[in-house]
């Protein structure tokens, strides 16, 4: 009797696997796989699953996720264990919990924000960012107030009720100019929210813009570790200042957003644990996270991008830690994975921010290489986005999409306040 070793391909929860299998060639020429080989095959398949962490979620991981859901608090060592131990199985368990929590507060609703990138001039020189001051290859632009108002008008017609004015740290936009712009937007569209994402400004400036009518402010902390912050930024920028701005914004009354990149150079599970601890302390209404993506004209050009899987895992953790947070499925996630937006929502996110900037500006606002600004990422293709969101069981709604405090929860009220588009 002779043997022939073949490979057979099986599909299990860890994907397609090639299994070596010995086939006995019987004297009459017929082929038969030995029972022992069949046992080996089962064992091998189980090992594949284990290797991918597909079958079993470790007791500790489950306990930590359960504890997080129940208490919304973990210690640093516990965060590190969760982050280091993340696997396909623990992610699926986490995402199921995150969806339940999100559903209790926001139902199946996905909020949309019209993102207007008003300027790519920036006085800062962050090592990761494509619009940093030192990038002489960046083609600079800034939008005039009339152009911004035209974007808002266009967005309003498309169904947007929140406008995010985002830009580099550009002194052209004085408090007076911005206040006049915000007043104008609010006058024309009193039913809309205005979000600012214009970097570090003085407390007086934040106050002034808030009294002009700005509702929300996005300012990612980028990393909550002092030493890591110094690896990502030039010495003139400090984590202390960034944190101070964030606490000021909250105190003034803005719905405040922070966040960080996943996989930025030098980041380990310990830095991520610090990010989560800081966010717990800040208790922001919004948290934006996305994978780091290198830009070819920055000092981090050769660095590897962050992981989509880890980003999704962190979205799930954020949903359990800050149940009512507005969490976007970010453009960076969509850039690295064509289904990043959907995966983000299924991991616990509840916001998407299509690009509403003038088309000519979009390609110039390149924070990182290959930044997505077409298809479902662009405001004009809202229909495509709606279909994609619907396909995974959620619905894009037109409403300001404000933060819902858990104590404010009243499901009946909530249902009637949202109009599906």
Please give the residue ranges that form the binding site for ligand 5AD (CB under 6 A).
128-129, 220, 222, 261, 290, 292-293, 295, 332, 367-368
Q: Shortest gap between Cβ of 335 and ligand 5AD (angstroms)?
A: 8
Q: Measured from the CB atom, is 79 or 365 closer to ligand 5AD? A: 365
* Distant-in-sequence, close-in-space partners of 211: CB < 8 Å, separation ≥ 6: none
Q: Measured from the CB atom, is 220 or 418 closer to ligand 5AD? A: 220
**What string of DSSP letters covers 2-30?**
EEEEEEEEEEETTEEEEEEEEEEE-TTS-
Token reading at 25:
């060639």
Buried b (16+ CB within 10 A) or exposed e, 173-207: bebeebbebbebbbeebeebbbbbbbbbbeeebbb
Consecutive H or E run containing 110: strand 109-112
Q: Measured from the CB atom, is 112 or 367 closer to ligand 5AD? A: 367
Q: Measured from the CB atom, is 164 or 376 closer to ligand 5AD? A: 164
Buried b (16+ CB within 10 A) or exposed e, 56-78: ebeeebeebbeebbeeeebeeeb
Query: Is 64 in contact with 49 (CB distance < 8 Å)?
Result: no
Token reading at 143:
């939008």
Q: Measured from the CB atom, is 286 or 397 closer to ligand 5AD? A: 286
Q: Measured from the CB atom, is 206 or 368 closer to ligand 5AD? A: 368
Q: Shortest gap between Cβ of 259 and ligand 5AD (angstroms)?
A: 7
Query: Is 368 in contact with 331 (CB distance < 8 Å)?
Result: no
Picking from 178, 262, 252, 268, the residue whose alpha carbon sits closest to that of residue 220 is 262
Q: Shortest gap between Cβ of 264 and ligand 5AD (angstroms)?
A: 8
Q: Shortest gap between Cβ of 129 and ligand 5AD (angstroms)?
A: 4
Q: Shortest gap between Cβ of 207 and ligand 5AD (angstroms)?
A: 22
CA distances from 120 to 42, 170, 178, 195, 370 (A): 56, 8, 16, 17, 16
Q: Measured from the CB atom, is 297 or 402 closer to ligand 5AD? A: 297
Q: Shortest gap between Cβ of 337 and ligand 5AD (angstroms)?
A: 14
What are the phi and psi torsion angles at 12 (to 5°)? -130, -170
Q: How far apart are CA 394 and CA 99, in angstroms?
A: 11
Q: Shortest gap between Cβ of 194 and ligand 5AD (angstroms)?
A: 17
Q: Which residue, judged by CB position, is nearest to ligand 5AD in the bound state?
A: 368
Q: Measured from the CB atom, is 101 or 118 closer to ligand 5AD? A: 118
Q: Shortest gap between Cβ of 389 and ligand 5AD (angstroms)?
A: 23
Strand partners, 121: none
């Amino acid at each position: 009797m002779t043997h022939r070793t073949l490979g057979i391909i099986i599909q299990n929860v860890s994907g397609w696997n090639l299994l070596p299998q010995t086939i006995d060639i019987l004297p009459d020429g017929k082929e038969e796989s030995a029972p022992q080989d069949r046992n080996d095959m089962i064992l091998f398949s189980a090992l594949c699953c284990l290797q991918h962490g597909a079958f079993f979620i470790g007791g500790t991981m489950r306990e930590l996720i359960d504890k997080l859901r129940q208490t919304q608090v973990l210690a640093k060592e516990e965060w590190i264990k969760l982050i280091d131990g993340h696997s396909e199985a623990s992610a699926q368990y986490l995402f199921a919990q995150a969806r339940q929590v999100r559903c209790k507060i926001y139902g199946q609703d996905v909020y949309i924000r019209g993102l207007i990138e008003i300027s790519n001039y920036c006085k800062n020189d962050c090592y990761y960012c494509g619009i940093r001051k030192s990038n002489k290859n960046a083609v600079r632009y800034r939008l005039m107030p009339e152009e911004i108002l035209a974007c808002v008008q266009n967005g309003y017609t498309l169904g947007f009720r929140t406008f995010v004015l985002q830009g580099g740290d550009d002194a052209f936009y004085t408090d007076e100019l911005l206040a006049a712009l915000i007043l104008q937007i609010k006058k024309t569209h009193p039913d809309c929210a205005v979000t600012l994402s214009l970097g570090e400004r003085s407390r007086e400036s934040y106050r002034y813009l808030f009294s002009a009518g700005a509702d929300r402010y996005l300012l990612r902390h980028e990393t909550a570790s002092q030493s890591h912050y110094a690896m990502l930024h030039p010495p003139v920028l400090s984590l202390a200042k960034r944190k101070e701005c964030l606490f000021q914004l909250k105190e003034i009354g803005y719905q405040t957003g922070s966040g960080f990149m996943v996989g930025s150079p030098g980041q380990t599970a310990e830095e991520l644990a610090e990010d989560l601890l800081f966010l717990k302390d800040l208790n922001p209404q919004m948290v934006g996270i996305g994978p780091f993506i290198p830009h070819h004209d920055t000092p981090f050009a050769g660095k590897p991008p962050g992981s989509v899987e880890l980003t999704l895992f962190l979205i799930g953790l954020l949903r359990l830690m800050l149940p009512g947070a507005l969490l976007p499925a970010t453009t960076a996630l969509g850039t690295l994975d064509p289904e990043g937006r959907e995966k983000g929502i299924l991991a616990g996110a509840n916001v998407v921010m299509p690009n509403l900037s003038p088309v000519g500006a979009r390609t110039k606002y390149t924070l990182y290489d290959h930044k997505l600004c077409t298809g479902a990422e662009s405001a004009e293709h809202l229909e495509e986005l709606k279909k994609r969101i619907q396909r995974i069981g959620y619905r894009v709604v037109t409403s300001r999409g404000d933060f819902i405090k858990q104590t404010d929860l009243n499901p009946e009220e909530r249902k009637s306040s949202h109009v599906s588009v």
